[in-house]
Chains A and B, each alone.
Chain A
Amino acid sequence: MTGAALGMPPEAALDDLERDALAELGNIGLGKASTALGRMVGELVVVSVPSVDVLPLDEVAPSLEAALSGPLVGVSESLGGIFDGTALFLFPEADSLPLVRAVLPPDVPAEDAALLEEEALAELGNVVLNSALALVANQLGGGIDTGLPVVRRGTAGAILAACRGTGGTVGGEDLPLLHIDLRATAQTIGGRVVLVLDAGSMGRLKASLGGFIGRSRAVGV
Protein backbone atom coordinates (compact mmCIF):
# COMPACT_ATOMS: atom_id res chain seq x y z
CA MET A 1 0.00 0.00 0.00
CA THR A 2 2.74 2.40 1.01
CA GLY A 3 4.78 1.43 -2.00
CA ALA A 4 1.90 2.09 -4.34
CA ALA A 5 1.33 5.52 -2.84
CA LEU A 6 5.03 6.35 -3.01
CA GLY A 7 5.21 5.25 -6.60
CA MET A 8 2.56 7.65 -7.78
CA PRO A 9 3.57 10.86 -9.51
CA PRO A 10 3.78 13.69 -6.96
CA GLU A 11 1.14 15.80 -8.69
CA ALA A 12 -1.47 13.01 -8.62
CA ALA A 13 -4.68 13.80 -6.78
CA LEU A 14 -5.63 11.89 -3.67
CA ASP A 15 -7.45 8.62 -4.27
CA ASP A 16 -10.63 7.73 -2.37
CA LEU A 17 -8.86 5.84 0.40
CA GLU A 18 -6.29 8.61 0.94
CA ARG A 19 -9.06 11.20 0.98
CA ASP A 20 -10.90 9.10 3.52
CA ALA A 21 -7.78 8.75 5.68
CA LEU A 22 -7.16 12.50 5.51
CA ALA A 23 -10.78 13.23 6.48
CA GLU A 24 -10.43 10.88 9.44
CA LEU A 25 -7.18 12.55 10.54
CA GLY A 26 -8.76 15.98 10.09
CA ASN A 27 -11.71 14.88 12.16
CA ILE A 28 -9.73 13.73 15.15
CA GLY A 29 -7.32 16.68 14.82
CA LEU A 30 -10.19 19.14 14.84
CA GLY A 31 -11.85 17.29 17.70
CA LYS A 32 -8.71 18.03 19.70
CA ALA A 33 -8.64 21.63 18.47
CA SER A 34 -12.31 22.10 19.36
CA THR A 35 -11.74 20.88 22.88
CA ALA A 36 -8.79 23.26 23.26
CA LEU A 37 -10.82 26.17 21.91
CA GLY A 38 -13.78 25.35 24.13
CA ARG A 39 -11.49 25.39 27.15
CA MET A 40 -9.95 28.72 26.14
CA VAL A 41 -13.26 30.51 25.73
CA GLY A 42 -14.98 28.81 28.65
CA GLU A 43 -18.70 28.23 28.57
CA LEU A 44 -19.36 30.73 25.84
CA VAL A 45 -18.78 28.41 22.93
CA VAL A 46 -19.87 24.87 22.26
CA VAL A 47 -18.15 23.19 19.37
CA SER A 48 -19.88 20.84 16.96
CA VAL A 49 -18.49 17.63 15.54
CA PRO A 50 -16.13 18.75 12.79
CA SER A 51 -16.45 17.71 9.18
CA VAL A 52 -13.78 17.59 6.50
CA ASP A 53 -13.91 18.24 2.73
CA VAL A 54 -11.15 18.00 0.19
CA LEU A 55 -11.63 20.60 -2.54
CA PRO A 56 -9.86 21.77 -5.69
CA LEU A 57 -8.07 25.07 -5.12
CA ASP A 58 -10.46 27.21 -7.17
CA GLU A 59 -13.44 26.04 -5.13
CA VAL A 60 -11.96 26.87 -1.73
CA ALA A 61 -12.57 30.63 -1.61
CA PRO A 62 -16.18 30.41 -2.94
CA SER A 63 -16.93 27.64 -0.46
CA LEU A 64 -15.55 29.72 2.42
CA GLU A 65 -17.41 32.82 1.27
CA ALA A 66 -20.67 30.86 1.05
CA ALA A 67 -20.23 29.50 4.57
CA LEU A 68 -18.86 32.54 6.40
CA SER A 69 -20.57 35.88 5.89
CA GLY A 70 -19.03 39.35 5.84
CA PRO A 71 -15.40 40.27 6.32
CA LEU A 72 -13.32 37.51 7.85
CA VAL A 73 -10.44 37.17 10.27
CA GLY A 74 -7.82 34.62 9.28
CA VAL A 75 -5.01 33.34 11.48
CA SER A 76 -2.39 31.48 9.47
CA GLU A 77 0.81 29.59 10.19
CA SER A 78 3.27 28.40 7.57
CA LEU A 79 4.02 24.68 7.60
CA GLY A 80 7.12 22.62 6.87
CA GLY A 81 8.18 19.05 7.50
CA ILE A 82 6.03 16.24 6.13
CA PHE A 83 4.38 18.81 3.87
CA ASP A 84 4.91 22.47 3.03
CA GLY A 85 2.01 24.86 2.97
CA THR A 86 -0.19 26.97 5.16
CA ALA A 87 -2.75 26.21 7.83
CA LEU A 88 -5.49 28.80 8.23
CA PHE A 89 -8.24 29.29 10.80
CA LEU A 90 -10.99 31.59 9.46
CA PHE A 91 -14.07 33.04 11.10
CA PRO A 92 -16.35 36.06 10.57
CA GLU A 93 -14.90 39.31 11.91
CA ALA A 94 -18.28 40.02 13.53
CA ASP A 95 -17.81 36.91 15.67
CA SER A 96 -14.27 37.77 16.72
CA LEU A 97 -15.33 40.12 19.51
CA PRO A 98 -17.07 37.55 21.75
CA LEU A 99 -14.11 35.20 21.25
CA VAL A 100 -11.60 37.91 22.13
CA ARG A 101 -13.65 39.01 25.14
CA ALA A 102 -13.75 35.45 26.40
CA VAL A 103 -9.97 35.14 26.16
CA LEU A 104 -8.89 38.58 27.42
CA PRO A 105 -8.62 39.17 31.16
CA PRO A 106 -11.47 41.40 32.41
CA ASP A 107 -9.15 44.15 33.68
CA VAL A 108 -7.21 44.89 30.48
CA PRO A 109 -5.96 48.48 30.48
CA ALA A 110 -7.54 50.50 27.65
CA GLU A 111 -4.15 51.39 26.14
CA ASP A 112 -3.30 47.70 25.80
CA ALA A 113 -6.66 46.58 24.43
CA ALA A 114 -5.89 46.89 20.69
CA LEU A 115 -2.53 45.09 20.93
CA LEU A 116 -3.99 42.40 23.16
CA GLU A 117 -6.95 41.87 20.84
CA GLU A 118 -4.54 40.99 18.01
CA GLU A 119 -2.59 38.74 20.36
CA ALA A 120 -5.78 37.05 21.56
CA LEU A 121 -6.75 36.28 17.95
CA ALA A 122 -3.21 35.05 17.17
CA GLU A 123 -3.23 32.86 20.26
CA LEU A 124 -6.69 31.44 19.52
CA GLY A 125 -5.54 30.55 16.02
CA ASN A 126 -2.23 29.18 17.30
CA VAL A 127 -3.92 26.85 19.78
CA VAL A 128 -6.56 25.66 17.28
CA LEU A 129 -4.03 25.02 14.49
CA ASN A 130 -1.31 23.45 16.63
CA SER A 131 -3.71 21.19 18.51
CA ALA A 132 -5.02 19.79 15.24
CA LEU A 133 -1.66 19.64 13.46
CA ALA A 134 0.17 17.97 16.35
CA LEU A 135 -2.34 15.17 16.33
CA VAL A 136 -2.11 14.80 12.54
CA ALA A 137 1.72 14.76 12.69
CA ASN A 138 1.74 12.12 15.43
CA GLN A 139 -0.70 9.92 13.52
CA LEU A 140 1.29 10.27 10.30
CA GLY A 141 4.50 9.51 12.16
CA GLY A 142 6.30 12.63 10.97
CA GLY A 143 7.03 16.15 12.10
CA ILE A 144 5.16 19.29 11.06
CA ASP A 145 7.01 22.54 11.77
CA THR A 146 4.66 25.45 12.36
CA GLY A 147 5.59 29.13 11.98
CA LEU A 148 4.36 32.02 14.10
CA PRO A 149 0.68 32.97 13.78
CA VAL A 150 -0.21 35.85 11.44
CA VAL A 151 -3.59 37.62 11.75
CA ARG A 152 -5.21 38.97 8.57
CA ARG A 153 -8.57 40.53 7.79
CA GLY A 154 -10.53 40.60 4.53
CA THR A 155 -12.45 38.32 2.19
CA ALA A 156 -11.68 34.60 2.07
CA GLY A 157 -10.11 35.09 -1.37
CA ALA A 158 -7.87 37.94 -0.22
CA ILE A 159 -6.73 36.11 2.92
CA LEU A 160 -5.99 32.93 0.95
CA ALA A 161 -4.07 34.92 -1.66
CA ALA A 162 -2.00 36.65 1.06
CA CYS A 163 -1.15 33.29 2.65
CA ARG A 164 -0.13 31.82 -0.68
CA GLY A 165 1.97 34.89 -1.41
CA THR A 166 4.17 34.05 1.57
CA GLY A 167 4.31 30.31 1.11
CA GLY A 168 5.57 29.78 -2.42
CA THR A 169 3.50 28.74 -5.39
CA VAL A 170 0.41 26.66 -5.05
CA GLY A 171 -0.46 24.28 -7.83
CA GLY A 172 -3.87 23.01 -8.84
CA GLU A 173 -3.96 20.28 -6.21
CA ASP A 174 -6.92 19.24 -4.20
CA LEU A 175 -6.88 21.02 -0.88
CA PRO A 176 -8.15 19.61 2.33
CA LEU A 177 -10.77 21.96 3.70
CA LEU A 178 -11.40 21.16 7.32
CA HIS A 179 -14.59 22.57 8.68
CA ILE A 180 -15.40 23.41 12.28
CA ASP A 181 -18.53 24.98 13.77
CA LEU A 182 -18.57 26.85 17.02
CA ARG A 183 -21.92 27.48 18.66
CA ALA A 184 -22.42 30.09 21.32
CA THR A 185 -25.54 30.08 23.45
CA ALA A 186 -27.19 33.02 21.72
CA GLN A 187 -25.67 32.73 18.28
CA THR A 188 -23.74 30.45 16.01
CA ILE A 189 -20.15 31.30 15.33
CA GLY A 190 -18.95 29.44 12.26
CA GLY A 191 -15.29 28.89 11.67
CA ARG A 192 -13.27 26.95 9.11
CA VAL A 193 -9.81 25.48 9.18
CA VAL A 194 -8.08 25.21 5.81
CA LEU A 195 -4.90 23.38 4.98
CA VAL A 196 -3.28 24.68 1.79
CA LEU A 197 -0.52 22.55 0.34
CA ASP A 198 2.32 24.01 -1.70
CA ALA A 199 3.05 22.55 -5.10
CA GLY A 200 5.23 19.48 -4.72
CA SER A 201 3.92 18.60 -1.27
CA MET A 202 1.13 16.34 -2.48
CA GLY A 203 3.57 13.50 -3.14
CA ARG A 204 4.92 13.66 0.42
CA LEU A 205 1.41 13.88 1.85
CA LYS A 206 0.36 10.83 -0.18
CA ALA A 207 3.39 8.88 1.02
CA SER A 208 2.62 9.74 4.66
CA LEU A 209 -1.05 8.87 4.19
CA GLY A 210 -0.03 5.57 2.57
CA GLY A 211 2.03 4.70 5.65
CA PHE A 212 -0.85 5.67 7.92
CA ILE A 213 -3.32 3.57 5.93
CA GLY A 214 -0.93 0.61 6.00
CA ARG A 215 -0.53 0.87 9.79
CA SER A 216 -4.30 1.27 10.29
CA ARG A 217 -4.90 -1.88 8.28
CA ALA A 218 -2.25 -3.81 10.17
CA VAL A 219 -3.91 -2.85 13.44
CA GLY A 220 -7.39 -3.51 12.07
CA VAL A 221 -6.71 -7.05 10.84
Chain B
Amino acid sequence: MSKTAIIVDDSKLSRMHVRAMVLRHKPDWSVVEAANGDELFQRLGETTVDVAIIDYNMPGDNGVEAAGKLRELHPDIHIAIITANAQDAVVSGIRALGAAFMPKPLDEEQVSRFLASTALPRRRAPQA
Protein backbone atom coordinates (compact mmCIF):
# COMPACT_ATOMS: atom_id res chain seq x y z
CA MET B 1 0.00 0.00 0.00
CA SER B 2 1.30 3.42 -0.88
CA LYS B 3 2.20 5.55 2.11
CA THR B 4 3.49 9.03 2.81
CA ALA B 5 6.79 9.42 4.62
CA ILE B 6 8.11 12.65 6.12
CA ILE B 7 11.84 13.24 6.46
CA VAL B 8 12.75 15.70 9.20
CA ASP B 9 16.37 16.88 9.05
CA ASP B 10 18.00 20.31 9.04
CA SER B 11 20.48 19.16 6.40
CA LYS B 12 19.14 19.29 2.85
CA LEU B 13 21.86 16.84 1.87
CA SER B 14 20.67 14.33 4.46
CA ARG B 15 17.08 14.77 3.33
CA MET B 16 18.11 14.07 -0.28
CA HIS B 17 20.00 10.99 0.85
CA VAL B 18 17.13 9.58 2.93
CA ARG B 19 14.54 10.45 0.26
CA ALA B 20 16.54 8.54 -2.35
CA MET B 21 16.81 5.52 -0.03
CA VAL B 22 13.08 5.51 0.73
CA LEU B 23 12.14 5.78 -2.95
CA ARG B 24 14.59 3.04 -3.95
CA HIS B 25 12.75 0.63 -1.65
CA LYS B 26 9.24 2.09 -1.88
CA PRO B 27 8.95 3.70 -5.34
CA ASP B 28 5.18 4.21 -4.98
CA TRP B 29 5.44 6.18 -1.71
CA SER B 30 5.16 9.94 -1.42
CA VAL B 31 7.93 11.74 0.46
CA VAL B 32 7.59 15.16 2.08
CA GLU B 33 10.34 17.03 3.91
CA ALA B 34 10.70 19.29 6.94
CA ALA B 35 13.83 21.07 8.14
CA ASN B 36 12.97 20.97 11.87
CA GLY B 37 10.32 20.06 14.42
CA ASP B 38 8.21 23.18 13.79
CA GLU B 39 8.09 22.46 10.06
CA LEU B 40 7.16 18.86 10.81
CA PHE B 41 3.96 19.99 12.54
CA GLN B 42 3.18 22.49 9.77
CA ARG B 43 3.42 19.72 7.17
CA LEU B 44 1.19 17.47 9.29
CA GLY B 45 -1.53 20.11 9.00
CA GLU B 46 -1.32 19.84 5.21
CA THR B 47 -0.73 16.13 4.59
CA THR B 48 -1.54 12.79 6.19
CA VAL B 49 1.71 11.10 7.11
CA ASP B 50 2.21 7.40 7.88
CA VAL B 51 5.94 7.22 8.49
CA ALA B 52 8.37 9.76 9.99
CA ILE B 53 12.15 9.55 9.73
CA ILE B 54 13.63 12.15 12.06
CA ASP B 55 17.21 13.32 12.58
CA TYR B 56 18.30 13.66 16.22
CA ASN B 57 20.67 16.63 16.02
CA MET B 58 18.53 19.61 14.88
CA PRO B 59 18.07 23.25 15.87
CA GLY B 60 15.05 23.72 18.16
CA ASP B 61 13.57 20.44 19.39
CA ASN B 62 15.94 17.50 19.02
CA GLY B 63 14.67 14.41 17.22
CA VAL B 64 13.49 12.65 20.38
CA GLU B 65 11.58 15.74 21.58
CA ALA B 66 9.95 16.21 18.17
CA ALA B 67 9.10 12.49 18.00
CA GLY B 68 7.57 12.63 21.49
CA LYS B 69 5.20 15.44 20.44
CA LEU B 70 4.42 13.63 17.20
CA ARG B 71 3.64 10.43 19.11
CA GLU B 72 1.17 12.27 21.37
CA LEU B 73 -0.70 13.77 18.41
CA HIS B 74 -0.51 10.75 16.11
CA PRO B 75 0.04 7.54 18.10
CA ASP B 76 -0.05 5.31 15.02
CA ILE B 77 2.71 6.93 12.96
CA HIS B 78 5.79 4.72 12.49
CA ILE B 79 8.84 6.68 13.62
CA ALA B 80 12.55 6.12 13.08
CA ILE B 81 15.20 8.40 14.56
CA ILE B 82 18.55 8.65 12.80
CA THR B 83 21.71 9.74 14.58
CA ALA B 84 25.42 9.06 14.93
CA ASN B 85 24.91 9.82 18.62
CA ALA B 86 24.40 6.29 19.99
CA GLN B 87 24.64 7.31 23.64
CA ASP B 88 22.75 5.01 25.99
CA ALA B 89 20.44 7.83 27.11
CA VAL B 90 19.61 8.83 23.53
CA VAL B 91 18.95 5.25 22.41
CA SER B 92 16.79 4.46 25.44
CA GLY B 93 14.83 7.70 24.80
CA ILE B 94 14.19 6.53 21.25
CA ARG B 95 13.14 3.05 22.39
CA ALA B 96 10.85 4.48 25.09
CA LEU B 97 8.90 6.22 22.31
CA GLY B 98 8.47 2.94 20.46
CA ALA B 99 10.57 4.42 17.65
CA ALA B 100 13.27 2.67 15.64
CA PHE B 101 16.89 3.72 16.15
CA MET B 102 18.87 3.91 12.91
CA PRO B 103 22.54 4.78 13.36
CA LYS B 104 24.31 7.15 10.97
CA PRO B 105 25.76 6.56 8.48
CA LEU B 106 22.55 4.86 7.44
CA ASP B 107 22.67 1.21 6.51
CA GLU B 108 20.46 0.61 3.48
CA GLU B 109 19.44 -2.85 4.72
CA GLN B 110 18.32 -1.43 8.05
CA VAL B 111 16.30 1.32 6.37
CA SER B 112 14.72 -1.31 4.13
CA ARG B 113 13.75 -3.41 7.17
CA PHE B 114 12.26 -0.38 8.91
CA LEU B 115 10.23 0.55 5.82
CA ALA B 116 9.01 -3.05 5.49
CA SER B 117 7.99 -3.08 9.17
CA THR B 118 5.61 -0.18 8.58
CA ALA B 119 3.27 -2.56 6.70
CA LEU B 120 2.34 -3.98 10.13
CA PRO B 121 0.44 -2.13 12.84
CA ARG B 122 2.81 -0.20 15.03
CA ARG B 123 4.22 -2.03 18.05
CA ARG B 124 3.37 -0.15 21.22
CA ALA B 125 6.16 1.09 23.44
CA PRO B 126 6.60 -1.08 26.51
CA GLN B 127 4.73 0.40 29.47
CA ALA B 128 7.03 1.63 32.23
Contact = CB atoms under 8 A, between A and B. Distances in A.
Contacts of B43: none
Interface string A19-40: 0000000000000000010011
B17 interface: yes
The secondary-structure label for the interface of chain A is helix
Interface string B13-54: 110110010000000000000000000000000000000000
A130 B85 contact: yes
B57 A126 contact: yes
A184 interface: no
The residue in A123, A135, A143, A144 that gathers the most chain B C-beta atoms within 10 A of its C-beta is A123
A112 B16 CA distance: 12
A68 interface: no
A148 B13 contact: no
Interface residues of B, number: 21
Interface in A5-58: 36, 39-40
A60 to B, nearest CB: 25
A130 B104 CA distance: 10
Interface string A106-145: 0000001001100110110011001101110110000110
A127 B84 contact: yes
Interface residues of A, number: 27
Nearest to B90: A134
Contact of A143 (B58, B59, B86, B89): B89
Interface of B: 10-14, 16-17, 20, 57-59, 83-90, 104-105
